[in-house]
Amino acid sequence: MGNPVRTWQRRTIALLWFTYISYYFGRLNLSIALPAIQDSFQWTPADVGIIGGVFFWVYALGQLINGTLGDRVPARLFVALGLLGSALLNVLFGFTVSLAAMISVWGLNGLFQSTGWGPIVRTASVWTAPGQRGRVSAVLGTSFVLGGLATWYVSGQILRITGDWPWVFWLPGIYLVFVAILWYAGIRSHPSDAGVAIDGGIQSEGESKPGLREFLAQTGSFLAQKTLALLALTTVFQGMVKEGINMWVPVLLVHTMDLPIADAALLSLFVPLMGFGGVLAASWFLQRLKGDERRTVLWLSFFGSAVALSTAVSFYAESALLLAIFLGLCAALINGINMLLLSAFPMRFGRLGKASTLAGFLDFASYVGAGVMALVTGVLASVLGWQAVVIAWSVLFALGWVSMYCNGNIAAAQTKLGPETREEAHS
């Protein structure tokens, strides 16, 4: 008979990973549908950019709120409700025919989509011992890129087969209902709910929790630390690049290389495929640098700026394949940075009940940047062309490098939180 603790851990981490991949089906499907929506209604890139921009801003605010709630509300119920809400709004979006309606529905979808990451990081932290969390954060980090890969491929195939963009939202909406049922049936918010205990892990959540006012005061003091503020600034810049790539690559390929939408969707798969490799490479690089996240992010940001400039130059080759490869390299570097900022670092704070809070806070920062970039991209593309957009990515990589360089030691945020967490940082 197998070890019940190991069995529950593997089952839980697999379900966390699968569920977060599934969240992408309810939000990144917009990227594939955008060219078809734009053509159907004769809208400009700036027009459709508002849809993505509002989503990102609502999603960002939702991360700040839901990340904090994720440390107080059981993830089993919280995530299930988020999935069901997103499912309903995806189905509704497929029936909308005006820009105002699309902005409203997709913006509200951002609120329900933001129920995922913080509670999932929180659940991972309580189901693992300190020594396991580095490996688990890398596993969860792959869900970002595999979710994008699966969503772009499936959405492209739905569009190719049906020839009608609403199906790109209706079918994922139905799928998310089944994922919500699977999640609720299979997950347990804490090992104690399954009757098991993790050696060296967080043994109980039965301790008395502070009142709401005290909890919010503690959270505000925690997030106001200078180190975390600088870390959030770095995350803003990486979010601008990451979601700029995720949202606009299919449109970029259609408009610069005169590709059919289905062909552009296929070439766009270089982005999540190479992004997956970037997460693995960043994990390896981190180990080579002895767990120094700051130096790892600095190096990845430096290379990212150089690769983005090379991508802008590749426009002159007029090769869709070459451009897609360079875009994939940009995605590889930015997804490696994303894994470090949004997964590895927040999981250190699980013992203090701050994993979901910090994950939500940094994801909030990431999507604030994404919301700004959604609008900036539409304007830049309409006025100066797509090459200017890619040059902007290079500048943002460089700004991320500068902000991280100014942050002398990202582990310093733990100095106010007690020796347990500082020790955990080096596990």
Ordered per-residue pLDDT tens for the chain, 427 residues: 467 888 898 999 999 999 999 999 999 899 889 888 988 898 887 788 788 878 888 988 888 888 778 777 889 999 999 999 999 999 999 999 999 999 999 999 999 999 988 899 889 888 888 777 767 877 887 887 788 788 988 998 999 899 899 999 999 999 999 999 999 999 998 888 888 887 655 555 544 455 556 555 655 666 666 777 788 888 999 989 987 887 788 888 888 888 887 788 788 888 888 888 888 888 888 778 877 778 888 889 999 999 998 888 888 888 888 888 899 999 999 988 988 888 777 776 666 666 777 777 888 888 788 878 877 887 888 888 888 988 999 999 999 899 888 876 555 554 444 444 444 444 3
Q: Per-residue DSSP letters for 53-91?
A: HHHHHHHHHHHHHHHHHTTTS-HHHHHHHHHHHHHHHHH
Decide if 218 is inside a domain. Answer: no
The tens digit of pLDDT for each residue in 353-398 reads 667 777 778 888 887 888 788 778 878 888 888 889 889 999 999 9
Confirm if 39 and 339 have CB atoms less than 8 A apart. Answer: no
Q: Which CATH number belongs to the domain containing residue 136 in this structure? A: 1.20.1250.20
Tokens of 344: 């590895």
Cα–Cα distance, 323 to 257 (Å, whole number): 9
Confirm if 276 and 138 have CB atoms less than 8 A apart. Answer: no
- pLDDT number for residue 423: 41
**For residue 194, what is the DSSP state?**
G
Residue 313: CB partners within 8 Å, gap ≥ 6?
none
Sign of CA dihedral 378, 379, 385, 388: negative
Cα–Cα distance, 71 to 320 (Å, whole number): 45
Decide if 207 is inside a domain. Answer: no
- pLDDT number for residue 352: 61
* Alpha helix stretches (DSSP H) within 270-417: 270-288, 293-314, 320-339, 355-383, 386-406
Decide if 70 is inside a domain. Answer: yes
- pLDDT number for residue 114: 92
Decide if 204 is inside a domain. Answer: no
- pLDDT number for residue 424: 42
Per the structure, the complete domain to which residue 149 belongs is given by 8-192+223-425
Amino acid at site 322? L
Tokens of 131: 């020594």
Number of compact structural domains in the chain: 1
CB-CB neighbours of 65 under 10 Å: 15
Decide if 205 is inside a domain. Answer: no
Amino acid at site 5? V
Decide if 29 is inside a domain. Answer: yes
Decide if 73 is inside a domain. Answer: yes
Cα–Cα distance, 10 to 15 (Å, whole number): 8
Nearest partner of 286 among 329, 336, 331, 335, judged by Cα: 336
**For residue 427, what is the DSSP state?**
-
SS3 of 208, please?
A: coil
Nearest partner of 33 among 196, 137, 162, judged by Cα: 162
What are the b/e assignments for 214-231, b being 16+ CB within 10 Å?
A: ebeeebeebbebebbebb
Decide if 299 is inside a domain. Answer: yes
- pLDDT number for residue 417: 44
Nearest partner of 109 among 121, 120, 101, judged by Cα: 101
What's the pTM?
A: 0.74
